[in-house]
Chain A
């Protein structure tokens, strides 16, 4: 006990030293950058997410006066979903505020890849909630990456488990044909490795079919699908590509019940333009879905009733808005966790990293935060930067999203070896030091 106290004190002194050197005359503010997009080809999906993030930070400031008294200063920068623009935003914002950026949400797999190279040098954690590179959950190699709530390998695995369940077991998939229609970018290519492995394990044929950015021209793809008659089609799209895919599926008469989208293809802007054509379409859920939860009451009370909300009130129950809330909440709670150790003052990126790595949200705590029903309890550790691997499947009934499945856990027997191999390869290529997580508290 004494030893631990001593260590804690030592850490606190060091941290205070760092903090005071940085905050000597700085205000009591925590700077958080927001790499978002409210313009360009992906704006319809980017806007609700950005609104959710902005509203949650505003709520913390309005309701609680900041995180433990430290005001959040949030600044948006529009990346337009372009990697070089995103890197510019990051460089512009990373040193703002008394302690620099607490963490960064790249909101694009391409930008995540680019920032993965920069994070260890700048000592700013990269939170890629539900996106980014799948092997980056291995915290021993990717010390600064946090693909919280699920990677694309988890997403693909959850969808495959759901399909297998409907078919009556993975062994029933033998001889089936499964097609992946994907956005032709690192984002869309992520799940291929897992699906290829599953295909080998269970003997189904797997065909990936790329769709070029921005994905408005898919006729050839869907004519091929019509001619090959696959049993299931998985959709890994973003922005206008999603609604176009669903429309084309309707046009070629592919049953929408057998079309499964990833969690970035399962929001209102994806299905609404397809109108009736989207009825029956399934999509994975990044834990939460649409609807209003505990936190929304506070949003109404502290923001929307005072006219301070960024979105419109009747849009605050949408999937992507909620995802923005979850995203911001995880960041705020990470900072709070870090403050427990380092004191109630603005945190540096390095301290926040410690905070994320020790993030432990129990069911009771989630209820307290107003996120009950949106999230399962999660616990991030040094070796597991994903936190939780649970997901559900939802279905569009023509007017709203309906949860149609129980919780699935992605199968770590399949994924863990892949993560280890890929992370090891990355570490070898980049000659990175590998941390021994068993030695860390």
Chain B
């Protein structure tokens, strides 16, 4: 009994790490801007699709040329709009040097990406070390577009309006990603070992099964958390982010540029989405369903707290383990007792777990204490 239990526990914890990765993206954005970003799942899909297509693991298929042309036109229009908007703003402000530098950087980045996509598209596969930064850059452009075109116009709106806007972004990205890159299954090959490892074979019959891919994913996730923690605690931008998270108005009044901060946060969460997309994509193959794993990250969020990075990690571990243990050990009992048509309780069990926990601690595990003011 102990063997299966430990095995399920390990499997659950490793799955939980993957949930954490998606949850991290949510937390970053919520912490800095109070936006409950439902588009995180769509961003994961978009990042994974982009990377998969750039690395050329396309399974012998190609997108329809017409689709590509239309998508390119849309992308071009979007970029042109962003550029025009930035230019107008720049003129209106009288154009400071910082502004000019930023625009120059953006223009260069945009030109490089646009040129690269146009030049290399269909010319075969890119190596991972080129494709990864390129995808990261595209995620940065995406973050910029979202900030400019959506969030900036919704400043000071209620949370639920912003939430709905991110749902709109999610719809848009789902369609955009598929138009641009097609809706087949694509592969991302990280060269991870696939054969399962069996630990302690002499202690437990059959050993404890561990998947190496999951281990690597857990390592990457752990690394990401450490980097993010350092970024938040030690760097100037990190301090600014924390200041914004504490109080928008106060941060603004001491001279922290809110829009820049939001741009940074969305970019960072775009990178996190890329990391999640790479790992999930390598595990499952890149296709539409990846965007649905966002739903898996939600119980992690309420358990860990919307604003806590360590909460996302610990919450992920608890939800992952709770889910798998309940499915393997509790579901068969329920099925026998109540003559059910099969188990499958893991989908709601995580939510119930989080819900019951919330009843005792409404702000989640590490969430900031809710102070009621009248």
Contacts and interface: CB of A to CB of B under 8 A. Distances in A.
Contacts of B89: none
Contacts of A239: 289
Nearest to B329: A224
B285 A240 contact: yes
B292 interface: yes
A219 B324 contact: yes
Interface stretch (B73-81, B147-155, B337-345, B351-359): B337-345
Contact of A43 (B4, B183, B344, B347): B183
Contacts of A220: 8, 11-12, 323-324, 327-328, 346
Contact of B344 (A38, A210, A253, A277): A210
Contacts of B283: 247
Nearest to A277: B194
Nearest to B198: A253
Given A216-B293, A224-B327, A269 B184 contact: yes
B15 interface: yes
Nearest to B5: A227
Contact of B288 (A41, A243, A269): A41
A208 B288 contact: no
Interface string A381-393: 0000000000000
Contacts, number: 116
A211 B289 CA distance: 14
Interface in B325-374: 327-328, 332, 341-344, 346-347
Nearest to B14: A219
B183 A240 contact: no
A427 B185 CA distance: 42
Nearest to A248: B211
Contact of A208 (B184, B327, B341): B341
Contacts of A275: 194
Contacts of A243: 185, 284-285
A191 to B, nearest CB: 13
Nearest to A215: B289
A34 B324 CA distance: 40
B346 A208 contact: no
A351 to B, nearest CB: 36
B342 A273 contact: no
Contact of B328 (A41, A227, A251): A227
Contacts of B11: 219-220, 223
B202 interface: no
Interface in A177-209: 184, 189, 192, 208-209
A219 B288 CA distance: 19
B61 A273 contact: no
B185 A47 contact: no
B370 to A, nearest CB: 32
B224 to A, nearest CB: 21
A224 to B, nearest CB: 5
Nearest to A270: B185
A314 B15 contact: no
Contacts of B196: 251-253
Contacts of B247: none
Contact of A214 (B12, B209, B292): B292
A221 B343 CA distance: 9
A223 B59 CA distance: 30
Contacts of B324: 219-220, 223
Interface residues of B, number: 41
B296 interface: yes
Interface in A219-276: 219-221, 223-224, 226-227, 239-240, 243-244, 247, 250-253, 269, 272-273, 275-276
A236 to B, nearest CB: 12
A189 B344 CA distance: 14
Contacts of A315: 60-61
Nearest to B185: A44
A6 B209 CA distance: 75
A21 interface: no
Interface in B174-208: 178, 183-185, 187, 194, 196, 206
Interface in B273-301: 283-285, 287-290, 292-293, 296
Interface in B52-88: 59-62
Interface in A141-165: none
A273 B185 CA distance: 8
A250 B195 CA distance: 8
A212 interface: yes
B7 interface: yes
B368 to A, nearest CB: 31
Contacts of B15: 217, 219
Contacts of A192: 341
A329 B332 CA distance: 45
A41 B289 contact: yes
A430 interface: no
A215 B293 CA distance: 11
B327 A44 contact: no
Nearest to B296: A217
Contacts of B59: 272
Contacts of B194: 250-251, 275-277
A221 B288 CA distance: 22
Contacts of B60: 314-315
Interface of B: 4, 7-8, 11-12, 15, 59-62, 178, 183-185, 187, 194, 196, 206, 209, 211, 283-285, 287-290, 292-293, 296, 323-324, 327-328, 332, 341-344, 346-347
Given A44-B287, A192-B341, 19 more contacts: A40-B183, A43-B287, A184-B342, A208-B341, A212-B344, A214-B289, A214-B292, A216-B293, A220-B324, A223-B4, A223-B8, A223-B11, A224-B328, A226-B209, A240-B289, A247-B283, A247-B284, A251-B211, A253-B196
15 contacts: A40-B288, A47-B183, A192-B341, A208-B342, A212-B347, A214-B292, A219-B12, A220-B346, A223-B4, A224-B327, A251-B211, A253-B196, A269-B185, A273-B284, A315-B61
